[in-house]
Amino acid sequence: MPAPASDAPAASRFKCGLRRNGSMTGMLLKVLPRKLRLRLREKQLVRDAAARNEGFSCRALAGESDYNICINSDLTVSCNCQDFDGSGQIGSLKSQSLAEIFAGPIANGFRKTLAARSFPTPTCASCADLRIVPVEEATRGLTSYRVPYKGIMVENTVLCNLRCRMCNRKELLQLRSQQVTMPLADVEKVALLLKEHQVQSLLFFNLGEPFLPPDVDKQLQVIRKHNPDIRIVTSSNGQLLDESRKIEAALMTDYIYVSLDGATQDAVSRYQVGADFDRGYRNIRNLVSERDSLGSKTPIVEWKYVVFRWNDRPDQIRKAIELAREAKVDVIGFYRGDGPLGDRSLRWYYHSIFKTLGDRVPGGIVVNLNNIPQHLLAP
């Protein structure tokens, strides 16, 4: 499951923050609609860079990102995981290799635009991989890059079983109209590419529900066959994890986020339209239990709770933590929800519960219920 919605669902943990600040301007920017926020932030960043006589560079286009290069379901490749309108597409594996895409005219154009202190796509303004660097370093970035090896995101499908508010399903389906789900042959092609470049980490999700394809178990088998040691991180809405093939697939991963934005049906269905709280919770619990019965420590299971105005009361947060403990999940993570102003949680900014709950991570707070070592928490 992904998170088009935003800064909300899954991607919140993966997105960004160039010099986030706690200033009043920073706080105000956070509560504006996404498009406006990106525009204002772009202006601010360009101004900052100009004042310092510096340029921009991109860690993802240098091949050094932990996750941000995304292979989409139609084999197009986006430079970032929030590419909701396709403006971040830099090529396609249908006709190019990853090395060709990285050395190709679009990627090079992006690098040049950044070095010239401008943005090739609006997403740059909120991207974790954007850097303000001395001009010499920005210029060096034009020729100094490599194919990514730390982590790559793979969207096996853009289809989803839910209709979350803010998740623009229609636009996403149009964007991927050539191929909404990867056939197994394409998954194998991607698996071989991961092997060729010795990629260390696979983020197996993007803008759809990864456990929706009936052959997701075969997809993960083929990835594992070619990449036995790769770290696989996935993110699901959890609703489908009660079919044996889907559970088997989930058990092949190393880390799984299961999104359930509340501790009751009422709270969950306000954002995750079509979700069933009892089913999601039961599936989280059963997944942990299946894993434990195999004597395995993976996948590490994180209950992902996106905080909005309607699910941010201290009693709701405490109830979710209590249920997470009962289900023996390893971690429960609370992430700031995005969307219209009226949907945002104000308590997130001022209430003491969010200041003392757990450890801060990008976009959220995690409560580590099973003493999972810090280095295994973040993908």
Choose between 1 and 187: whose C-beta lies nearer to ligand SF4: 1
Choose between 169 and 285: whose C-beta lies nearer to ligand SF4: 169
CA atoms of 159 and 179, how far apart (whole Å):
10
| 80 part of the interface to ligand SF4, by CB under 6 A | yes
b/e sequence 56-94, b meaning 16+ C-beta within 10 Å: bbbbbbbbebbbbbbbbbbbbbbbbbbbbeeebbbbebe
Placement of tokens 């044996």 in the chain: 244
- Which listed residue (29, 130, 138, 263) binds ligand SF4 by CB under 6 A? 130
- Which listed residue (110, 204, 281, 308) binds ligand SF4 by CB under 6 A? 110
| 129 part of the interface to ligand SF4, by CB under 6 A | yes
- Which listed residue (98, 127, 202, 249) binds ligand SF4 by CB under 6 A? 127
Choose between 125 and 191: whose C-beta lies nearer to ligand SF4: 125
Cα torsion 113, 119, 120, 121 to 10°: value is 170
| 12 part of the interface to ligand SF4, by CB under 6 A | no
Smallest gap, in angstroms, from Cβ of residue 378 to ligand SF4? Answer: 18
Closest CA to 67 of 5, 152, 163: 152
* E strand spans, the chain: 54-58, 70-71, 76-78, 89-92, 130-134, 151-154, 201-204, 231-236, 255-259, 300-307, 331-336, 359-361, 364-368
| 124 part of the interface to ligand SF4, by CB under 6 A | yes
| 54 part of the interface to ligand SF4, by CB under 6 A | no
- HSE-CB of 336 using CA atoms within 13 angstroms: 24
| 120 part of the interface to ligand SF4, by CB under 6 A | yes
CA atoms of 125 and 39, how far apart (whole Å):
8
Choose between 191 and 332: whose C-beta lies nearer to ligand SF4: 332
- Which listed residue (49, 147, 154, 164) binds ligand SF4 by CB under 6 A? 164
Find out whether 274 and 258 touch, Cβ atoms under 8 Å.
no
Q: Which stretch binds ligand SF4 (CB under 6 A): 94-102, 124-132, 174-182, 242-250?
A: 124-132
- Which listed residue (38, 45, 154, 162) binds ligand SF4 by CB under 6 A? 162
| 210 part of the interface to ligand SF4, by CB under 6 A | no
Choose between 334 and 357: whose C-beta lies nearer to ligand SF4: 334
Choose between 6 and 253: whose C-beta lies nearer to ligand SF4: 6
- HSE-CB of 326 using CA atoms within 13 angstroms: 9
DSSP calls for 181-202: B--HHHHHHHHHHHHHTT-SEE
Binding site for ligand SF4 (CB under 6 A): 1-5, 9, 58, 60-61, 68, 79-80, 88, 110, 120-121, 123-124, 127, 129-130, 160, 162-164, 167, 207-209, 237
